[in-house]
Structure 1
Amino acid sequence: MFSNMVTGWEKIEFRSMTMALLVVCFSFMILLKRKKGNLPPGPRALPFVGNLHQLDTKDLLKSLKELSNKYGPVFTIYLGPQPNVVLYGYKAVKEALVEQADNFSGRGPFPAVYNFTKGNGIAFSNGEKWKVLRRFALVTLRNFGMGKRSVEERIQEEAQFMLEEFRNTKQKPFDPTFFLSRAVSNVICSIVFGNRYEYEDKRFLSLLQLINDNFQVTSSGWGKFYNIFPGIMDHLPGPHHRIFRNFEKMKSFVLENVKEHEKTFQPECPRDFIDCFLIQMQEEKGNPMSNFNIETLVKTTLNLFFAGTETVSTTLRYGILILMKYPHIKEKVHQEIDKVIGRNRCPTVEDRSKMPYTDAVIHEIQRFSSIIPLSLPHCVIRDTDFRGYHLPEGTNVTPVLISAHNDPEKFKEPEAFNPENFLDENSQFKNNDAFMPFSIGKRICLGEGLARMELFIFFTTFLQNLNFKPTVHPDEIDLTPSVSGVGNIPAPYQLIAVPR
């Protein structure tokens, strides 16, 4: 089954990796012991490898669903020698991340990223450092207009640049992947660096390629195995080593921008996120316990880039593919745009309240695609009693966000794409508390407001001016992710952008 993860030349490397794991397994024959406590039930684990022999590493989500059917919404699996408590379904996820939000607020191990961050930055830090950095980022982003007019104008401007790029394809087939990532990334660039990049800028394109490659590799089988057996995988060949080379190149990109900022830095007139961070560094210069330094600035900036580039652009890419498969839904969005906005002005965030169907379609795209299906790993920060079980401090927790999106008690026919999930009997938009594409609780994505604004303005701007047509019959479009791990990534496709 393991060999299903790879093809061609990678099979040779993968066999050597598998043999190494088996040798270690039989050499040590370590008997797995549960941490002191009373963890939820789960399948019987083998020494060292845990439950890997019972998991389809190519379709982990399917395996978790099957285990949930057998053991219930809260169960334990061993990924290698480490126990992981899995939360499956809306009720279990909400009870842990909302009703016991503080207890479940720890960031669990993620070796493929920790190897680079060393627990630094917002997304992968814990304790007081995480609280300080998150508070600073939220205040700074708010001061620069997250949810306000200034950022909205930047998104509108970038949407027009992107629209022009689509038009320049002259109705010839093209892959939208980097078209979309350039536009989305430029929004976060304007907030973090204070300026946007031309779409053909080689340094900018290189950064986007690095981000996209890391998202692909960490979601692949190689990334999954690195997160389980980092010590062994460090010594085995394979594409997982690209993750760390890519991170170092990204670090260099950010450091170059920081140095450029320092040359023209004026504390009394901050231009962007980096300037605000440099001001905080100056204010805490004499504090040996300060969390504000160049290394933290680099890691935090890259956190913002990943959160602000790949997830939104992948959602847009998935959304366009979905709408091409269901042209009747796309046509209804066209009609609502024409009715509310027309063809002669740019869409605004204020329009969203008058466009319930379009808003419902965008929410359904996020629910159906579940770009981040498992959330980033959590852990409990103290001994925690949960549903009759006792989770010792540090216990790893995996909230399966896609299980909330597919919960039949919260959504009708959850396996199907249906905007009616977010419309009431009067065809007005209705929220659903099982909707959690940005996660929930204390670790909810701090860029949620920005992402929601981007998705609405980009989608409506594109559909206001263009009709996206597939290169195959809609019935032939496959919405199954080509890669499913850290992210759900749609298969590559081409489209034709036709002016309306």
Structure 2
Amino acid sequence: MIFILLITVLLAWLVVRQYQKVSRLPPGPVSIPLLGNLPQIIYYLWTTGSVVSTLDLFRKKYGNIFTLWVGPIPHVSIADYDTAHEVFVKNAGKYADKFNPPLFRDLKHDLGVATTNGDHWQEMRRFALQTLRNMGVGKDVMEDKIMEEFNARCADIDKAAVDGVTVSHAAEFFDLTVGSIINSILVGKRFEDNNKQEFLTIKSALDKAFEFISPFDMTVPVWVLKRFFSQHYEKMMKVMTECQDFAANEAVQRYKLFKAGKYVVEKDNVSDYTDAFLLKIQQDGENSDFNLESLKTMLFDLWITGQETTTTTLISGFNQLLLHPEVMEKAREEIMKITNNGSRPLSLSDRSSTPYLNATIGEIQRHASILNINFWRINREPTYMGGHPVDSGAFVAAQLSVLHVNETIFENPQEFNPERFISDEKLLQKVIPFGVGKRSCLGESLARSELYLVSLLGQIHIFVQFFILQIFGNLLLRYNFKPHGKLSTKEVTPYGFAKRPFKLEMKFVKI
């Protein structure tokens, strides 16, 4: 009898405590003590078929700011641009700290910039931004680097052409183009015939890893993965460790020469990110921020963020253009007009003269919307968001994938329609594929440039925006594109934390 009474009192206390916590948070489905909303989340994932549709269902039911309890921790999702801007831009200092997934902490030991917090994150971000600026990211010198690599890849395409037509896997073309540019920026080495196959092998393994790494893997303690899912854990760690070693291999060799006194960095002759990092050590000595392990982790973070965001957007973009050839033709006509019928390459300086291309890239980025689930920030003190109380200890995120399909912002969101940005220029500001606030994507500038120039249709990340713009635009100047095999907009990883591009094959038809 006493035991039953104790259990009853405990359950009552848990229910009252849960109710008190819920009252200090935005609305959401009824949660169970300890389990939270996990039963509902699992059910709707199964019935709707994807993470994004599940989150969108909760948005429609509970509003643009809603709470889901993942176990005992409340997660507040923001699917409204104005609220996201208010929280993460105007009050950016409050939400600089990210939730660091245990899996990443086990791999990177709280080093790098992607998921770390505090003084180390601030120092690494500050150094990376300054180094990339010094190297000309977003300027003519970076545009020249992108075009040099772009021309080399197009030469390979032309060389393989039969009657002016080359069939290629989009992923291989874009991976090599983007990867080579990023690698040259980070370690001063591009991918050529003697080393490109190793890169493609590593990249293929990374792609497969992204397909089987789930939100579950990103949230549970590492000991759970090691004990109950040991083979799965070892497989994930093996792939990520191999990728990190590959990204840092050139830098490690240079570091060894540097420590042996056989390599000295000249202050006025810094050729890549690794040189800049070694110069910092050369001037100030090694410390907890600037050392070999930190260098390896930073190279991995920059390589992953720049590579994945850019290539995923480019592949998704060309898939959309092949599905909507009228959009491709209209963008090409605009580019041809400002480049005197293709007599010169498209430049970043042309961006103000290509409104339709900019709109097309914006629509591509809205549909590509890389993250199914955005990285969570930690709310440190009680506050209000969009009129709702948000208690301290809650995780908060602008859920970009849901924001980009919010019909109150983007009319008929499932349609691919660049014209929406022509009729409302301010709407383009609400496409935020790289996040908002202090923890937005470090590679945004580079990504945006790449997109515009290769098709002048795009923008992404300090690494990714610079690419997409250049690659999109200039590809449209040189080639017409046709599908080779089926086309589809079906989500490849509907239950993953990040989107994976459709495995697209296409014909490059020389213009």
Question: 1:378-408 CA deviation, whole Å, 9 max, x = no partner?
Answer: 2224443434555444421232112332233
Instruction: Work out which of the residue numbers 459, 482, 489 in structure 1 matches 2:492.
Output: 482
Which residue in the other structure is 1:54 paired with?
Answer: 40
Whole-angstrom CA distance in 1 between matches of 2:319 and 2:157: 15
Which residue in the other structure is 1:361 paired with?
Answer: 360
Which residue in the other structure is 2:483 paired with?
Answer: 470
* Cα distance change, pair 77–334 in 1 and its aligned pair in 2 (3 A): same
Q: Do the aligned residues in 2 keep the contact of 1:284 with 1:292 (CA within 8 Å)?
A: no
1:497 partner SS: strand
Question: 1:65-109 CA deviation, whole Å, 9 max, x = no partner?
Answer: 111222222222122332211112223322221232221221113
Residue 124 of structure 1 and its aligned partner are, at CA, apart by: 0.9
Q: Do the aligned residues in 2 keep the contact of 1:217 with 1:240 (CA within 8 Å)?
A: no
Whole-angstrom CA distance in 2 between matches of 1:51 and 1:315: 32
Whole-angstrom CA distance in 2 between matches of 1:199 and 1:358: 33
Matched, 1:433 2:433: no
Residue 261 of structure 1 and its aligned partner are, at CA, apart by: 2.1
Matched, 1:496 2:507: yes
Alignment of 1:298-337 (within 5 A): 298-337=296-335
Whole-angstrom CA distance in 1 between matches of 2:144 and 2:210: 29
Instruction: Work out which of the residue numbers 3, 25, 37 in structure 2 matches 1:39.
Output: 25
Matched, 1:415 2:414: yes
Q: Do the aligned residues in 2 keep the contact of 1:265 with 1:275 (CA within 8 Å)?
A: no
Taking every aligned residue pair, what percent have the same amino acid on both sides?
Answer: 30
Q: Do the aligned residues in 1 keep the contact of 2:247 with 2:303 (CA within 8 Å)?
A: no
1:190 partner SS: helix
1:408 partner SS: coil
Matched, 1:205 2:200: yes
Whole-angstrom CA distance in 1 between matches of 2:37 and 2:306: 34
Which residue in the other structure is 1:192 paired with?
Answer: 186
Whole-angstrom CA distance in 2 between matches of 1:128 and 1:252: 25
Question: 1:137-160 CA deviation, whole Å, 9 max, x = no partner?
Answer: 111000000111111111111111
Residue 51 of structure 1 and its aligned partner are, at CA, apart by: 1.9
Query: Using CA pairs below 8 Å that are at least 6 residues apart, which structure has the higher relative contact order?
Result: 1
Measured on the aligned residues, the alpha-carbon RMSD in Å equals 2.6
Which residue in the other structure is 2:8 paired with?
Answer: none
Q: What TM-score does the superposition give when structure 1 sets the normalisation length?
A: 0.85
Which residue in the other structure is 1:234 paired with?
Answer: 226
Q: Do the aligned residues in 2 keep the contact of 1:211 with 1:306 (CA within 8 Å)?
A: no
Matched, 1:174 2:168: yes
Residue 358 of structure 1 and its aligned partner are, at CA, apart by: 1.3
Whole-angstrom CA distance in 1 between matches of 2:509 and 2:30: 55
Which residue in the other structure is 2:101 paired with?
Answer: 110
Whole-angstrom CA distance in 1 between matches of 2:264 and 2:302: 21
* Cα distance change, pair 419–175 in 1 and its aligned pair in 2 (3 A): same
Whole-angstrom CA distance in 2 between matches of 1:31 and 1:109: 28
* Cα distance change, pair 255–352 in 1 and its aligned pair in 2 (3 A): closer
**Which one is further off, 345-354 or 50-59?**
50-59
Question: 1:3-26 CA deviation, whole Å, 9 max, x = no partner?
Answer: xxxxxxxxxxxxxxxxxxxxxxxx
* Cα distance change, pair 346–239 in 1 and its aligned pair in 2 (3 A): farther
Residue 189 of structure 1 and its aligned partner are, at CA, apart by: 0.8
Unpaired runs of at least 5, structure 2: 1-10, 258-262, 453-469
Whole-angstrom CA distance in 2 between matches of 1:424 and 1:70: 29
Q: How many residues end up aligned between the 2 structures? A: 461
1:84 partner SS: strand
Whole-angstrom CA distance in 1 between matches of 2:30 and 2:194: 53
Q: Which amino acid aligns with 2:192?
A: E
Whole-angstrom CA distance in 1 between matches of 2:482 and 2:488: 15
Q: Which amino acid aligns with 1:87?
A: I
Residue 450 of structure 1 and its aligned partner are, at CA, apart by: 0.8
* Cα distance change, pair 326–255 in 1 and its aligned pair in 2 (3 A): closer
Question: 1:103-145 CA deviation, whole Å, 9 max, x = no partner?
Answer: 1221113233232123221111112221111111111000000
Which residue in the other structure is 1:145 paired with?
Answer: 136
2:363 partner SS: helix
Whole-angstrom CA distance in 2 between matches of 1:291 and 1:272: 19
Instruction: Work out which of the residue numbers 219, 237, 248 in structure 2 matches 1:244.
Output: 237
Which residue in the other structure is 1:449 paired with?
Answer: 445
Question: 1:313-342 CA deviation, whole Å, 9 max, x = no partner?
Answer: 111001111000011111112212221123
Which residue in the other structure is 2:155 paired with?
Answer: 164
Which residue in the other structure is 2:350 paired with?
Answer: 351
Residue 357 of structure 1 and its aligned partner are, at CA, apart by: 1.1
Q: Which amino acid aligns with 2:323?
A: K
